[in-house]
Structure 1
Amino acid sequence: MARTTGSRADVTGPLIRDKARRLFARQGYAAVSMRQIAAAVGVQAGALYAYTPDKQALLADLLESHMHDLLGAWSDDPDADPLARLERFVRFHIGFSLDHGDAVFLSYMELRNLTPDNFARIAALRGRYEAALEQILRDGITARVMRIEDPKLTTLALIAMLTGVTNWYRDGGRLDRTRIAQIYWGLARGAVGA
């Protein structure tokens, strides 16, 4: 019998993804076996293959889903003031990152474990997100409200800075999310010479 008695496909599939995401984030992709994922879910290892062809496909699916969620949640108003758009991006990115800490961690730390084809697919999605911020910066240069030497490099630096909050933030810590977003907005504003 492949499934634990009483398990259901509509529950087991999402549970596999959730447990795999958590295990990969805590222990690293290379250190986690399909048997560990199965044990965390409460199914036999062979049952996982009804939901994913292999561990690589599971990782790629987790990273791709995260990027689709991120891109789906972000929206921009190209007619708005570039500084207001940048502030909105900063606050959005911090909030989304803190709400999806394990997924964000995987997106940055486990790219190296993707096959070339999977890497290309995820990199293309990441490129779309980066391009959204880069466009805001280019619009800020055009509007003369930002002084940036290299918009692409500034884009990558800002995203790295903003994403770094997931490495140290803890609920109930010294600073709440609102205050952290305010401080990061000040840092981002300084980084673009505004």
Structure 2
Amino acid sequence: MARKPGSRAEITGPRLRAAALRLFARHGYAAVSMRQIAAEVGVQAGALYQYISDKQGLLFELMRGHMEDLLTAWAESRPPAGDALSRLEHFARFHIRFHAARADAVFVSYMELRNLTPGNFAALEALRRRYEGELEAILRQGQAEGAMRLPDTRLATMALIAMLTGVNTWFREGGRLSRDQVEDIYVDMVRKAVGA
């Protein structure tokens, strides 16, 4: 398959990443070939290497991009100060909204960790720890204020992130509950989970 006329790096590169993300989310990283990705983009398989080093590099780039976008969005959204319960509510709503708009990226970022090389896994884990650290700091603040009762803030951090990310697996716009209603219910569950 020949390269499409007018194909340029600034167009083909993003199309390549979007196609790979869709295919990895739908079929799984291991089941998707570079040839399939190339066909989806409309270029020859060999042409993909003008944009990526290899399939593993592509997976890592997608996952790292998701985590970097998450950290950037949180940094822009993070409330500068306030009591821990208000900050926890803000975090819960932020997490649900951010992930609800990125179903494929969330699925790939959580389900394909097993397919990363050890070095790529370590780099991604460092980014994940930075984000988890933001929530853990809120929980520690809540304990210091006496507003939360938690036996282990690290375990609570992991449990809350898993619960909030889980919304992405079942929520659909136009369903029985609106996203705002789901957020309200989840915020209440989060508050109860931390012993507020």
- TM-score grouping bracket, smaller chain normalisation: over 0.9
The number of aligned residues is: 194
Q: Secondary structure at the match of 1:164?
A: helix
Deviating beyond 2 angstroms after TM superposition, the runs of 4 or more aligned structure 1 residues are 75-79
Report the equivalent of 1:77.
79
Tell me, yes or no, if structure 1 residue 182 matches structure 2 residue 184: yes
TM-score by length of 1: 0.97
User: 2:99 is matched with which residue?
Assistant: 97
Asked if structure 2 preserves the Cα contact closer than 8 Å seen for 1:130 and 1:156, the reply is yes
CA distance in 1, matches of 2:101, 2:40: 22
Which residue of 2 is the match for residue 57 of structure 1? 57
What displacement does 1:2 show?
5.3
Corresponding position of 1:141: 143
Per-residue CA deviations over 1:75-110 (Å, capped at 9, x if unaligned) read 333531100000000000000000111111111100
Asked if the contact 1:148–1:192 (Cα under 8 Å) also holds between the matched residues in 2, the reply is: yes
Partners of 2:173 and 2:28 lie apart in 1 by 23
Map 1:24-39 to 2 at 5 A.
24-39=24-39
8 Å contact from structure 1 (residues 111, 119) kept in 2? yes
Q: Which TM-score applies when normalising by structure 2?
A: 0.96
Q: Which amino acid aligns with 1:46?
A: G
User: 2: distance between equivalents of 1:182 and 1:43?
Assistant: 46
Q: Does 1:17 align with 2:21?
A: no
In structure 2, distance between residues paired with 1:125 and 1:27: 25
Q: Who is 2:162 aligned against?
A: 160
List runs of 5+ in structure 1 lacking aligned partners: none
Is the contact made by 1:63 and 1:122 (CA closer than 8 Å) also made in structure 2? yes
1:57 is matched by which residue type in structure 2? Answer: G
Could you tell me which amino acid in structure 2 is paired with residue 4 of structure 1? Answer: K
1:77–1:85 CA contact under 8 A, matched in 2: yes
Equivalent position amino acid for 1:19 in 2: A
Identity %: 62
Gaps of 5+ in 2: none
Separation in 2, partners of 1:2, 1:23: 21
Instruction: Report the AA paired with residue 182 of structure 1.
Output: D
2:44 is the alignment partner of 1:44: yes
In structure 2, distance between residues paired with 1:116 and 1:101: 25
